[in-house]
Chain A
């Protein structure tokens, strides 16, 4: 399976290598660098690169390439999924997954990788088990360790690996027992030039932060479970119960985890919470272009649209933009031609607009493409699909937990074509 792993930073340095079988020379990465050179954008490096003796499967996260070396047939998604799991684990442990964080914690990283794979086959990938084996570094613990010489490695043995609920640590204790659930829905949409919706979908997740003592068993039920069209679960969810009763029943992992991700049945019309009026024109022969953009709320069910951020990749011919926002700030990067406008909150009485001119390269002909506008926004306290959690019950433990549910709607890949 996975032979070796190389971590490569944005400038092309291999800053960590780990081998699970015999050592593969780091020169194998030359093939990767070749491919990287060929690709114009960092994300265009093909995820699978064949070399004469090995295959390189890579993922790009946080500007770091995680390159796995494999020697024989293995499902590529298996490797990709595992690499992403590695990144998630790092993020979980160090808060961020950057080159600096990995270098700072190189020993912990090595210990983690050692536990996650045995002979190239995944062994322990559940974050709760890993945390039992190797404690995540904190500032306090690092200090104490340097002084006392105690270790990051857990004294206990990984009993979690033996249990039937491998995702949960045993012997969890909290003074405040809390369970929070965030229902976050993202709208993916492509809006036509004329403002009509070409495609719109709602993808949602329920992220949970559960800090409960002992072995609680939770059930979560929805007011309208039929809305959920296609769901994928954390392994803790009892699938049969869902199939039969549309109730989520599970023994939760300890801490943060993603309980569920779902797709809202595409037969339901998707409410589009914002609209864009745009007028972006370039005139033939003139070195000026007009830029005019107005945002407005639409179908928001009375909730405010917040954290609005508009970005657009302007055509290469645009030299500079001289714009005037009615609210918020805008930036234009003349090198990447990326225009971003941080709008903030949309006030329905006074719609935010961004107007002005763009200067074009003198003499160049007018760009034949119009830029796409990407919009990000957030709407608090609302799930756009109308999904509602009915109730959350806990069994198996005696205490009364504190329960909280938060709804939020965000823009996913929300694009407006102009």
Chain B
């Protein structure tokens, strides 16, 4: 640890070429530096009148400090310059002061008066800087002065000074912990501050000084949530971590019902919770059953504040700062309902592209998460594949994650990857891979034999480490079920001739000894061979030979008595005393003589005791009792200052503590005005600025506060604010309307935070309510209802509103009409507002998009985390696909999709009469919009009871879904008399994938495992497009999103009618009316050969699906599918192709 040559020369700069601080110095020529009192020159320079000399001196001093040299003897000379006019000198003096004040307390006091003067300066930045330095001087005598300064600064006009005050709090606390009470008062005051600048710093101070005073947060909770997005990134991390803890104490566990159900089902039990805690489980189950009963009585309703936190943190997943992303991820992991946690996976996977240190931390957390929530990361399996260039520690962590993600369906791919890894040059990594294989083998019984065989092959590897590791893993695997694998033990016995690695030899011998009953013939023979080579063996092998001999002697003394004697005799004269001791001990134990004590009776018990099988489990199991993302979690040990993540409370504490009485905030008004004036009018729409601006216009956070609080006055106040705004907007018309609209939307979104909740409840009650409404519309409706005076609602609004009244009779056409409606509106708007920046098509699209987004928001459903259709298969080569037959979904899906062209709705069998013991169930995709949730596909089920007895309580249980998918169960059918049929409709959100939804169909007596797998054509709903719109959309979905296939039409389907019918049967699309064929662009087919177009949108994500069938002579045709979701497009092409050619 010696310093480099350039840096350890105490004698100064005489020999220093690389030292800049001397190089620049005109005075360091050699006169002073050769002087033994090396600091005299510096002192002289500091005392001089010239600023440049002082600066030079200070630079050299700072350079000394940077190198860790002691410059404390210059203190008096430096401190004199604290009042220097030159700003850089001053700053460098501050640096020096902060560094050495602790050592020279008395002298440091000389500088205090300068700072005290600075605290009174009219310039806020000078006040801040004075406070910053003053509080950084660690001199106990000035504690009262600091306290005073902090208190004063905490009520300063300038938020920047208040921020500095917040920073000063932990400094003072570490200097004198006795000031805690007073400091808490200051913190309480600063927590109430309403600026983003202060928020992060004060929460930091809170965390350092009084993290246990969670009660201080109540009043500020909603404010913090709302400010969060505008706080600087470092503050965000601290706030999010604190709020996680807060939420854990104040809200109920959102997963309480689900976790109980899961436990009850026990089909989806984790691998790890297997044998050893069975007994515990029983008790737990009982307890949980009780709790479940309780939970059923009282359905869980999420506290709106809880929801607020989740919603306001979610956008931060998009932050560029990995720490922020991680903080949000852990918040979601610890606080969000299970169905919503999935959103964080994508962001975490993104972080894996970052620096290796970031990867290291993220992978540690992913490893922990993947144990609890395997489904979340499954779609991203490939992102954890290992590259040969990864550092070993990253490789090992990725391996850990891959192992955690392994299950029956993907194990073959994972094992294939592992095979590649085993050949790596990085032997530590190979060893880890072998262990991972071992774990996969224990967890997934299907592949246990394959893994074992693979591992046995590795025994012939040349690398010692590989062999040793394999033997050890095999040993563990065999210990779990030795009786089945006597042939492997035999095989290993054979290996003793070849394997020279001592560890491996020892392991083999131990195995043979342990399971000598399974290989009664071979074991003595092995012992014979070993006895022969005993003297040449390594020590560990010798010890195992003795053990083997002892065990054989006890079980098969007839054959091995002499051999054992021989081995023991050899060992008696061994050079190693351990071996001699062992031999002596064993001889006494197993060979009964009159001298041997009572122990020999128990020899058999001693040696052949049943050893517990080692448990191969993840080192990351149960790490989640530490808050994720924390240092303690990373180290798996409690770090100093770690705040435990509290358990969820049994009953929710009073939520009213968070209510705040409304106060007009003058400060914010003053502060915010500065730069806002420069923000142009049109940026108002939903931007950061906009948010801030709103804060100016309106009292701070009246939106949420007013809503939740019972105070009537607050409510009316915010109402009138937004009301006047929107009315002015409608008057404005033209260019204003667009921005106004979105503004209104986002505004009301915030405003209606609570209301939204209510609405949700309402929605549940009133299933008939139209589902296509977007939030913007809905919320504006709300507004409308409130402000009756707003006379002319926009068209689309009135549309949806009237829909609401109309009940659901016209539901099927609704989506179409509404779409075209909004489009027309956009066009109109476009005409009036030509100068608007975004071009027309984009705007249209974005508008639609917005609708969908807000629709999702309304339901509090996160957009599904990449609903991939068996991501495993999409990229795989043919050879791999054939290897993995049975995994591939795409093939199997296509078969049911070959719909007979004539039948309108094809029904599929869910449960056969015989397997169902009389109950048969058929289902079909009714193609009706599923009213409770527009993102779901309606599945109509027909139950027929052909048994002789009644069936009762038909319902669904234990739904198992890929991540992102959701199911809305049909209401329980109480009674289905014998011979009767009944129908029910359920909704499934397939997330635009053809993954099957698996669930149990339960009757009062039995449960049947069933699954529904949708043909791709059912994953969409028809939309109405005109031909021009169709072409425009098609133009935007070119390239990779377009799939074209040539085909020859079936003889029976060459007329228009047949084609249309077959296509619409194969996929739920609507036809685009054609007629203007002749007038459109040049490459038109001759009119004899018409082009048929069909359009639809996928149900979940609303991506457009455009199908074109261009007919040509002789029944030739060309089929084009444009869809952003390539998988859907590809599958659809196949389906339609099949429909048209058969």
Contact = CB atoms under 8 A, between A and B. Distances in A.
Interface of A: 1, 9, 11-19, 21-23, 26, 29-30, 33, 40-41, 43-44, 46-48, 50, 55, 58-61, 70-78, 80-82, 84, 100, 103-107, 109-111, 114, 118-119, 121-123, 125, 146, 148-149, 151-153, 155, 157-159, 161-166, 188, 190, 192, 194-201, 203, 215, 217, 219, 221, 223-224, 226, 229-235, 238-241, 243-247, 249, 258, 261, 263, 265-271, 313, 315-316, 365, 368-370, 372, 374, 386, 390-391, 393, 395-396, 413, 415, 417
Interface in B509-548: none
A11 B3 CA distance: 10
B320 A232 contact: yes
Interface stretch (B569-577, B594-602, B677-685): B677-685
A267 B19 contact: no
B676 A164 contact: yes
Contacts of A200: 875
Given A240-B686, A245-B849, A393-B837, A22 B138 contact: yes
A198 B419 CA distance: 14
14 contacts: A21-B174, A55-B631, A74-B631, A81-B321, A118-B167, A148-B52, A158-B125, A162-B124, A199-B383, A234-B320, A239-B229, A244-B686, A369-B424, A415-B387
B320 A261 contact: yes
Interface stretch (B232-240, B246-254, B705-713, B950-958): B232-240
Contacts of A73: 630-632, 639-643
Nearest to B160: A162
B7 A15 contact: yes
A148 B983 CA distance: 92
B59 A107 contact: yes
B221 interface: no
A43 B391 contact: yes
Contact of B392 (A12, A41, A119, A153): A41
Given A50-B637, A369-B425, A395-B680, A152 B88 contact: yes
- Interface of A, secondary structure class, is mixed
Contacts of A148: 52
Nearest to B171: A119
Nearest to B6: A103
Contacts of A40: 392
Nearest to B23: A104
A84 B21 CA distance: 26
B5 to A, nearest CB: 9
Contacts of A21: 174
A217 B680 contact: yes
Interface string B803-832: 000000000000000000000000000000
- 5 smallest beta-carbon distances between A and B, as pairs: A149-B52, A196-B877, A72-B641, A240-B686, A238-B687
Contacts of B393: 44, 46
Given A107-B21, A243-B850, A246-B842, 18 more contacts: A13-B2, A16-B67, A17-B66, A26-B68, A30-B1, A73-B642, A110-B62, A149-B50, A164-B689, A199-B382, A201-B382, A232-B319, A240-B686, A245-B842, A261-B320, A269-B1040, A270-B875, A390-B839
A47 B234 contact: no
B323 interface: yes
Contacts of B420: 417
Interface residues of B, number: 159
B879 A226 contact: no
Contacts of A313: 388, 425
A119 B136 contact: yes
A241 B683 CA distance: 9
Contacts of A125: 233-234
B152 to A, nearest CB: 18
A77 B320 contact: no
B846 interface: yes
Contacts of B1036: 223-224
Interface in B159-187: 159-160, 164, 167-168, 170-171, 174
Interface stretch (B73-81, B346-354, B496-504, B1071-1079): B346-354
Contact of A368 (B355, B391, B461): B461
Contact of B423 (A26, A163, A370): A370
B634 interface: yes
Given A78-B234, A368-B461, A238 B868 contact: no
B318 interface: yes
B442 to A, nearest CB: 26
A164 B67 contact: no
B999 interface: no
Nearest to B388: A372
Contact of B1126 (A23, A267, A417): A267
B11 interface: no
Nearest to B240: A75
A42 to B, nearest CB: 9
